[in-house]
Structure 1
Amino acid sequence: MKEDIVTVLVEIPRGSRNKYELDPKSGRMKLDRTLFTAMGYPDDYGFIEGTLGEDGDPLDALVMDIIPVFPGCLIECRVIGMYHMVDEEGGDDKIILVPNDIRYDAIRDIDDIEKFHKDEICHFFEQYKALEPGKKVMPGAHMEDKEKAMECLKAAQARLKESL
């Protein structure tokens, strides 16, 4: 399998304000909280299997798909970029992907995405914690290209191997 192809477990479908997380004890989806802001996730959101992010959780993933899927769905995806951000707990990068599907063959890097959709993603992650007590996003968040996203992915894969 190509190194830019990964498996994403979707926890939150596009448009949802409910933040679901995979409960490691039961292996089932659990409602973590409802977003305090009046906005839903701009794309399907979950994590990349086989990784460990700087925050101690699997690396976050945002999957740009035509139709939202359901919590717990696995999708084979291709890395196209990332949203680099830091929150109240430290590094919290979001890898941006598309399904590994012929319909997305023209999308190879973050610059292949419409500017408006990139702006929506940035706006969401800049604001989604705004009304939540004790939560915040630090200034300086920004989009990165596929090359930077792959560096982040490889580091998260290595971090997991080192932790085992």
Structure 2
Amino acid sequence: MEVDVIVEIPKGSRNKYEYDPRLGRIRLDRMLFTATGYPGDYGFVPDTLAEDGDPIDALLLLTEPTFPGCLVRARVIAVFWVHDTHGPDAKLLCVPATDPRQLHLQELEDVPMHQIAEIWHFFEIYEALAPDKSAETRGWEQRGKAVEALEDARRRFADQRTATTGTEG
């Protein structure tokens, strides 16, 4: 399954940027309190609403970082679950859909084990030193569960839009 991902945070960055939908801009939210950078470009899938009240998160595996605001067509290959201060938080694992270097990455088991471990480790510690924040890793699920989480987030977004506007679509 392919989706559009809006990048908020480039790979390797310790700056936590967040999209501000009210302003239509990306703002610096904070800097990570740990000495580690994001293991891939990090952003969200537009027109979704995850269980934490934000668009569903996506981590893009790519060879070079992009930039905040970059729109990337991506292929969903798995989901990583974190439970943070706002509840369950799905992180879709994606690769750029048109990158020939990533064509072999279709499922979680196609990703090198060390890279999977690095991602797990990042989400285990990235909030560790932040005041009033916590994150507990829950683990990986395959592409089918990732697609379910994405479809649930799209449905939640559509339901919220209908409730807000009183119309569908």
Task: Give me the TM-score of the superposition, normalised by structure 1.
Answer: 0.95
Distance 1:114 1:146 in 2: 16
Structure 1 residue 16: deviation in Å? 0.2
1:26-105 to structure 2, matched below 5 A, reads: 26-101=23-98, 102-105=100-103
Distance apart, 1:26 and its partner CA: 1.7
Distance 1:26 1:52 in 2: 18
Which residue of 124, 129, 132 maps to 2:130? Answer: 132
Instruction: Give the secondary-structure state (helix, strand or coil) at the position aligned to 1:93.
Output: strand
SS in structure 2 of the partner of residue 85 of structure 1:
strand
How far 1:114 moved relative to its partner? 0.2
CA distance in 2, matches of 1:62, 1:80: 10
Q: Give aligned-pair identity as a percent.
A: 47
Task: Structure 1 unaligned segments of length 5 or more: list them.
Answer: none
2:135 alignment partner, SS class:
coil
Matches of 1:120 and 1:25, distance apart in 2 = 34
Whether 1:15 and 2:22 are equivalent positions in the alignment is no
Shift of 1:65: 0.8
**Distance in 2 separating the partners of 1:121 and 1:160:** 27
Question: Matched residues in 2 for 1:156 and 1:40: separation?
Answer: 27
Find the counterpart in structure 2 of residue 119 from structure 1. Answer: 117
Bigger strand share: 2
CA distance in 2, matches of 1:89, 1:153: 18
- Helix, strand or coil: the match of 2:122? helix
**Partner Cα distance (1:152, 1:46) in 2:** 16
Where 1:53 maps in the other structure, the secondary structure is coil
Structure 1 runs (4+) deviating above 3 angstroms are none
**Structure 2 residues not aligned, in runs of 5+:** 162-169
Give RMSD over aligned pairs: 0.9
C-alpha displacement of 1:103: 2.6
1:105 CA displacement: 1.5
Amino acid at match of 1:59: I
Paired positions, count: 160
Write out per-residue CA displacement over residues 83-142 of structure 1, whole angstroms, 9 at most, x where no aligned residue: 01111210111000000113322110111000000000000001000001111113x510
TM-superposed deviation, 1:39: 0.5
Give 2:115's aligned amino acid: H
